[in-house]
């Protein structure tokens, strides 16, 4: 998922887009997108993507009025990894983190990453414990050491943080 559709823009069916990564160059290059909303999915050809002031605006083929654009508000823009924003050092795609083991410094499996959520002060890793309970851990260097989706694990530096409730 690279972005979310927002409010209509103008009278010709254009729609504001919020990039989930903060980057926009990869969205501007899109020529076809899968939109996901309310459990349904639909492909659209992209007629164009432009910057309009501070906003990014997309025009989809067949969406030609503000009413049609409004009906897509909240849809997720889903695309393949080849069209996703490039990663910087120590950046990860959420999909690569989901399901990896959260381990102690001595290798004991403490849980698994269920999801990564946006928080007011940054991302929060939702850890599912073996009991099924969920715990939230700030995704910061003070709490996580080596994070390796390739090896299927993230090292938790502060085991005590899993002791409290969500």
pLDDT per residue as tens digits for the range 143-159: 999 999 999 999 999 99
Q: What is the pLDDT of residue 79?
A: 76
Mean pLDDT rounded to a whole number for the chain? 88
Looking from the CA of 13 toward its CB, the CA atoms found within 13 Å total 11
**Residue whose C-alpha is closest to residue 83's, from 25, 41, 40, 149:** 25
pLDDT band at residue 83 under the 50/70/90 scheme? low
Query: In which element (H, E) is residue 117 found?
Result: strand 109-119
The CATH H-level superfamily of 94-162 is PRC-barrel domain (2.30.30.240)
φ, ψ of residue 95 in degrees (nearest 5): -60, -30
- Indicate the domain borders of the chain: 3-83, 94-162
Whether the domain at 3-83 and the domain at 94-162 fall into the same CATH topology: no
pTM greater than 0.85: no
According to the CATH classification, is domain 3-83 in 2.40.30.60?
Answer: yes
**Residues 91 and 51 sit within 8 Å (Cβ to Cβ):** no
Two structure tokens written together for 7: 């409010």
């Amino acid at each position: 998922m690279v972005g979310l559709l927002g409010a209509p823009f103008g009278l010709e069916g254009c729609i504001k887009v919020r990039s989930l990564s903060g980057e926009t160059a990869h969205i501007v290059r899109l020529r076809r997108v899968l939109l996901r909303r309310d459990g349904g999915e639909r492909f659209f050809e992209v007629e164009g993507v432009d910057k309009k002031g501070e906003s990014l605006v997309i025009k989809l083929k067949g969406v030609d009025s503000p009413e049609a654009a409004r009906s897509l508000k909240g849809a997720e823009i889903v695309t393949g990894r080849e069209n996703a924003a490039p990663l910087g050092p120590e950046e990860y795609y959420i999909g690569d983190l989901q399901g990896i083991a959260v381990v102690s410094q001595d290798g004991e499996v403490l849980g698994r990453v269920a999801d990564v959520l946006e928080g007011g002060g940054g991302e929060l890793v939702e850890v599912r414990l073996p009991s099924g309970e969920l715990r939230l851990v700030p995704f910061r260097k003070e709490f996580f050491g080596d994070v390796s989706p390739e090896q299927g694990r993230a090292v938790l530096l502060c085991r005590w943080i899993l002791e409290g409730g969500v």
